[in-house]
Structure 1
C-alpha cells in the first residue's frame, strides 16, 4: 500500500508495510479458502434443500408411524445404529436420521414418517458438511485448530497494520473513494485495496474473532475463563444431576457451543428398550418444543436423550433433557446462560448470518467477497511494483528500516495481538527468526559479491 516514494516514507510506515506484506503472504491464501467456504455456508439451508430434494420431499399424510419404526428402517437401510433424529417442521418433509456404521462412517438417512419407508441415504451432512469441514480446515487433520488460531491472529494483524497504512497523513486522494485512474495503473489497485479494507475491515475482524470459539489454545483458555467465572452454561437442575461430559459417541447434536458435550443422567428408569424414542417424542410434544429439532439417542443407557431446537436467533435457543421413561430432567434456555456464553452464542449466530435475517447474511457475504477483493488487489499492487528479477531471494517486500523507534511502532501494532493469540505469538517468533536469517544470508551474499 501507499503511493509516496520510498525515500519520503517514514521508517515506521515502511516497517509496518513490511509486516503487512508478510502477513498477507502468509495467510491470504488460507483466508481466501475460508472466505469462499464461509460464503457458501451462509446458504446452507438452500444448498441442503437442493441436495436433499430427491430424498426429502414426500406427500403429507395424516398420522405418523411410531418413531421407533423410523430408526429401525434407517438402521436396516444403512446398516448401522441411529445416533440422532431430526424432526422436520413441515408435513411434506422426511425425517433425517444420522446413522453410524460399524466402521465408524456416518450417513444421513431419510425416512417417510407416515409409513416408515426408507427413502435413501447420503454422505453425512451432504455437501454443506464438506464445506464446513473445509472452512474449519478440519480436512487437514488434528492440527486444524492450531492453524485456524494462527491464521486468525495474522488476519487481525493484517487489519491492524492496514488501518495504520490507510491513515490519510495529509493525503486526500484514494482515502474514502477510488480515484478515476485506469485499472492498468498501480494507484487504481492501491485505492481498491485501501478503500475495500476501510469499509470491510471491521466485518472481517468480526468474522475472525467470532470464528474462534473452537480454536485449540485461545478457545480453550477463554472457555475455561468463562466456566471459572460462572458466566457459561447454567448449573444442572438440582432434581437432575451434575453435568456429565459426554463421550464422543454421545455428544449431543445441535446444542450449540455452550452446551456442547453436556449430558445428564437419564433418571431411575434408564432402559432404552422398545418405545424409547416414541416415549421421548411424546414428552417433547407435551413440552411444546417448536420444530424442527434434533433428538440425540445416547449409546450409554444411563444418559438422558438430548433434544435441541434448531434456531436462527439465539434468543430462541432451548434444549430438553428427557429420560427414556419420558421424564423431563432439564429444560435449558438462552436466558439461563451466563454473560460469556450469551456473547459467544450471539457472535456465532451473527457469524453464520442468521441472527438478524437477510441483512445479516449479506453483510457477512460482503466480508467474504472483500477478502477476495483485498487479495486480488494486493497481488496486482505487488505485480506492478515487483523487483525486476525474482531470482535473487527477493519477493519485493519493503526494506526493513533500522532503529528502536521503528521496532516499537511495529510491536505496538503486532505485539498485543500476539499476546491475545498465543499460537500467533509463537508463529511471530518463528517469522522474526526467519526474517533475520534471510537478511543475514542476503548481507553475506552481497559482501561476497
Structure 2
C-alpha cells in the first residue's frame, strides 16, 4: 500500500527540465571549453571577410612591376611559368580582374602547388608563392582546421557542437524573470562592475544568438565528420548532380584548385592519392607537353566574363574539353562552362542547375562568408563577430572577478536530476552532431565510474 502510494508521486516529481543551477553549470563548462576557440574564430573570420581586398593589397607591388606594352599570348605566359617550376604541371590559370595585372598561373609540383606571377608583356617571373602559405589559405586552414588538417577539423566541429549547447543554455538562463528592458533587451551601459559585464555578455549574446546558430550550421558541411557523412548520404540517394564545390576537412590543394570532389571518410594520404588518380586527370596522366587551345579558351573566357575569381583548367584527358569556372564567394553567382580547344562553349552549368542540397549549402556558405547579399551581409557578419568577441571577453572577466586564486570556482552541481525532456533533446542533438554525442557519452561514463574519485567530474 505504501509502495503503491509512492509510485505516482515519484513519477509526478520526476523533473522534465534541469533547474537553473544545472543550466548554469553546463553553460560554464561549455564556455570554458569554447570561448578561446570562439575568439579565434571571430578574429580569423573577420579577416576572411576581406580576403579579396587583403590579397589585392598584398600583391600590389607585384602588379605595379608589370611592364607597359602589348601582352604576349597566354600560352607563352603559361610556358614561362612552367619553366620556372622544374617538373611542374599546368594546373590552372586565374583570369585577370584589371587591365594591368600580373598573370597568375598555378603549377602543380609533387604534392604542392606554386602560384607563379608572370609579367604578360616581358614574360618575366615577378614572384612565386606556395599556394598553401598564401594569406587566404592560411586563414582558411586556421579558421576551420587549426592548421593541423582533419584532426583540427574534428576539434572545430566539436567546438561548434558545444557552442550550440552554450547558446541554448545561455538563452534559458537569460529568459526574463522580471519586466523592463534594461538588462534584458538593452544592456545597462551606465552600470558599473558585475552588472555592466553581465549585461554585455547576456544581452549581447541574445542579440547575436540566431545569426550565430546560422553561422555554426552553415559551417558544418566543411567539417570532416559531419561533412563526410552528409556527402556520403547525399551521394547514395543521388541528389548531388554536380561536382561538389566546397571542401570537406583537409583536401589536397591541387584537388581544390582543379575543382574535383573527394570521397568522404579518407585519410589525408588516401585523399591525396585518390585526387591524383581521379584527376587523370589534370596531373600525373597529363602529357608532358601542355595541351593546345589555351589561347582560344582564354578569349572565350574574356567574352563570357564570369564573376571573379575565374579559373581556366586544362582537359583531364586528351580530347576532353577545357573547363572554365567562377569561384566567386557569392556562390549563387558561380557558373561553369566546358570549352573546346577551339574556344567553343559546349555546356554551361549555373547555380540554378544544381541539386536542392547543393543550392542550400551554397546559400549558407555565401552567408557564412559574408557575400550573399553584398555589403550588408559583410557588415552584419563583422558586427556579429565584434559582439561575440565582446560577449566572450565579458564572460571571462566575470569568471576571473569571482574566481578565487588557485580555484576553478565552477557553479555548484545541482542535486536535481537532469530531466527526461533535457535528455531527449540532448539525445537528438547527439545524433545530429556526432562529436557532441560522443563527448556526452564520455562525460556520462566519467560521471558514472570516476566521479567518486574526482569531484570535478561530477
Task: Please confirm whether the aligned pair reaches a TM-score higher than 0.5, indicating the same fold.
Answer: yes
- Judging changes above 3 Å, is the alpha-carbon distance between structure 1 residues 410 and 384 closer, same or farther for their aligned structure 2 residues? farther
- Asked if 1:219 is matched to 2:227, the reply is yes
Post-superposition CA distance 1:10-39 (Å, at most 9, x none): 961111111111111112111211211111
RMSD: 3.4
Post-superposition CA distance 1:46-65 (Å, at most 9, x none): 11011111112366867542
- Judging changes above 3 Å, is the alpha-carbon distance between structure 1 residues 153 and 11 closer, same or farther for their aligned structure 2 residues? closer
Q: Report the counterpart of residue 100 of structure 1 in structure 2.
A: 108
- Judging changes above 3 Å, is the alpha-carbon distance between structure 1 residues 29 and 334 closer, same or farther for their aligned structure 2 residues? same
TM-score, normalised to structure 1's length?
0.81
Partners of 1:95 and 1:111 within 8 A in 2: yes
Q: Report the counterpart of residue 323 of structure 2 in structure 1.
A: 306
TM-score, normalised to structure 2's length?
0.80
- Asked if 1:175 is matched to 2:175, the reply is no
- Asked if 1:275 is matched to 2:292, the reply is yes
Partners of 1:250 and 1:300 within 8 A in 2: no
Partners of 1:150 and 1:423 within 8 A in 2: yes
Q: How does 1:270-349 map to 2 (within 5 A)?
A: 273=290, 275-285=292-302, 289=306, 292-297=309-314, 301=318, 304-324=321-341, 326=343, 328-349=345-366
Distance (Å, rounded) in 1 between the aligned partners of 2:367 and 2:260? 13
Distance (Å, rounded) in 2 between the aligned partners of 1:319 and 1:425? 39
Q: Report the counterpart of residue 257 of structure 2 in structure 1.
A: 253
Larger displacement relative to structure 2 (152-161 or 365-374): 365-374
Q: Report the counterpart of residue 364 of structure 1 in structure 2.
A: 381
- Asked if 1:206 is matched to 2:222, the reply is no
Q: Report the counterpart of residue 188 of structure 1 in structure 2.
A: 196
Secondary structure of the residue aligned to 2:221 is coil
Distance (Å, rounded) in 1 between the aligned partners of 2:257 and 2:152? 21
Q: Report the counterpart of residue 4 of structure 2 in structure 1.
A: none
2:126 aligned to which of 98, 119, 125: 119
- Asked if 1:419 is matched to 2:431, the reply is yes
Partners of 1:83 and 1:298 within 8 A in 2: no
Partners of 2:67 and 2:119 within 8 A in 1: no
- Judging changes above 3 Å, is the alpha-carbon distance between structure 1 residues 389 and 309 closer, same or farther for their aligned structure 2 residues? closer
1:403 aligned to which of 400, 405, 416: 416
Q: Report the counterpart of residue 172 of structure 2 in structure 1.
A: 164
Q: Report the counterpart of residue 390 of structure 1 in structure 2.
A: 406
**Which runs of 5 or more residues in structure 2 are unaligned?**
1-16, 245-250, 265-274
Distance (Å, rounded) in 2 between the aligned partners of 1:443 and 1:131? 40
Partners of 2:18 and 2:422 within 8 A in 1: no
Q: How many equivalent residue pairs?
A: 415
Post-superposition CA distance 1:244-303 (Å, at most 9, x none): xxx96863628598999897999xxx9764633224324435656466411123675575
- Judging changes above 3 Å, is the alpha-carbon distance between structure 1 residues 64 and 365 closer, same or farther for their aligned structure 2 residues? same
- Judging changes above 3 Å, is the alpha-carbon distance between structure 1 residues 250 and 108 closer, same or farther for their aligned structure 2 residues? closer
**Which runs of 5 or more residues in structure 1 are unaligned?**
1-9, 237-246, 445-449
Partners of 2:114 and 2:128 within 8 A in 1: yes
- Asked if 1:42 is matched to 2:55, the reply is no
Partners of 1:95 and 1:110 within 8 A in 2: yes
Distance (Å, rounded) in 2 between the aligned partners of 1:234 and 1:137? 26
